[in-house]
Amino acid sequence: MIDLTGHTALITGSTQGVGASIATSLCQAGARVILHGLRDDSAAQATLARCRQSRKDTELVLFDLSSDIERVQQDFATRILEQYPGIDLLVNNAGIFIDSPFLEMNPAIFDRTFHINVRAPYFITQAFAKHWVARSISGRILFTGSINGLLAEPTHTAYDASKGAVAALVRSLCVSLAPHAIRVNAIAPGLVRTPLTDQVLSTDRAMLKWMQLHTPNQTVPSADVCGPMAAFLLSDLAHHIHGQTIYIDGGMSAWQQPDLPDSCRSAMQAQP
């Protein structure tokens, strides 16, 4: 039922992980996709090949989003809009996690985190919105947030704050852009398997069991679970969904006390 035929999407950070899952799902739904990455490596080529199984016109652009914001707008966003003037879907997926513990955090790490996770997508979105409003294009925007925008971790202060900012940004942009027939929403994955998380999960069984315990369906899936929801939110089926963050987390965000000690569990069960 999800049909994106006739649409063209730019997906930042889409050569692997969640971004690659979104790209694959959008191609399967009929959209033309412009992949974005930092480098043309084996992961990028594998994603490009997978997308081209559905859409042979899938392309890859390379750009470093850590560049100063004027370059991000002019050399990246504006250039893509000039090359693909009919583009009407934007997925702000690129992000980084490079945190140090709070007492060791320095301004460089904090600023880089917010630049990639918040500032760059903010101004990319602004460039796209200006283009769409001037041409009466009913654009659709999707951000990739995180369960960390809702639930905190002790060594993730900058990352958590940036993803909380993304959730707030989605609401604010909804209010600003809905009158222009531009929809803004977000997906927020819980823990999913990506090249980054697999470095830990594939070697640390205790960590895997801990994360399974904190997920009601006891599953840590691949990033492929994210793509179909992204395609849905960008499709006509979601025409009345604005300013929302949809959690793709196996129920993790709903569970208050997943690791309750047995002694406390028994006491709570004995209450009338």
CB-neighbour burial class of residue 227 (10 A; exposed 0-12, middle 13-18, buried 19+)? buried
Give the span between the Cα atoms of 264 and 272, in whole angstroms: 15
Alpha-carbon distance values, 191 to 36, 153, 184, 194 (Å): 23, 13, 23, 9
Find the helix or strand (DSSP H, E) in which 167 lies. Answer: helix 157-177
62 within 8 A of 39, measured Cβ to Cβ: yes
CB neighbour list of residue 215: distance below 8 Å, 6 or more residues apart: 190, 191, 249, 250, 251, 252, 255, 258
Beta strands in 38-132 (DSSP E): 59-62, 89-92
159 included as an active-site residue: yes
Name the active-site residue from 84, 122, 159, 247: 159
Residue 253 makes CB contacts below 8 A (sequence gap 6+) with 147, 150, 151, 190, 247
> Could you give the C-alpha distances from 12 to 80, 220, 254, 268, in angstroms and in order?
12, 24, 29, 47
d(CA 268, CA 139): 50
> At 249, is the secondary structure helix, strand, or coil?
coil
Active site (catalytic) residues:
159
